[in-house]
Structure 1
């Protein structure tokens, strides 16, 4: 697993959102990745999902961040 938060964030995105985020500059990708990490840490609803499927929780958090901050 990569320790680069942007790479981990990009891996958690679905293909359509990955393309959207991939077209942005590195600073914007880093901003979104930081928001993604914050979402994972602070959203208690994701805790249950994380226990069942960590990748699913990461994907859901990534979707939320991208939809909230890019659309």
Structure 2
């Protein structure tokens, strides 16, 4: 069974950010996960990083999305 986008997003987060996102309502988690997917697909720097290390690119995109949430 494939992991849904929210679960993939949560895995890409740091432990502290993961707990913060888990406290959000499901709709907000889904919105953040969608923003994460958009960040991954539209940022060319992440695209290059993804070729070298997909987990690093996913973590960087997740950090960017959560940074916006926390600011």
TM-score norm. by structure 1 comes to 0.93
- Distance in 1 separating the partners of 2:23 and 2:31: 14
Unaligned ranges ≥5, structure 1: none
- Distance in 1 separating the partners of 2:25 and 2:11: 17
CA deviation profile, 1:11-56 (whole Å, cap 9, x unmatched): 0001010011011010000000000000000000101110110000
- Distance in 2 separating the partners of 1:40 and 1:61: 6
- Distance in 2 separating the partners of 1:8 and 1:2: 10
User: For residue 58 of structure 1, what is the aligned residue in structure 2?
Assistant: 58
User: For residue 11 of structure 2, what is the aligned residue in structure 1?
Assistant: 11
Does residue 36 of the first structure (1) align with residue 7 of the second (2)? no
TM-score norm. by structure 2 comes to 0.93
Quote the RMSD (CA, aligned, Å): 1.3
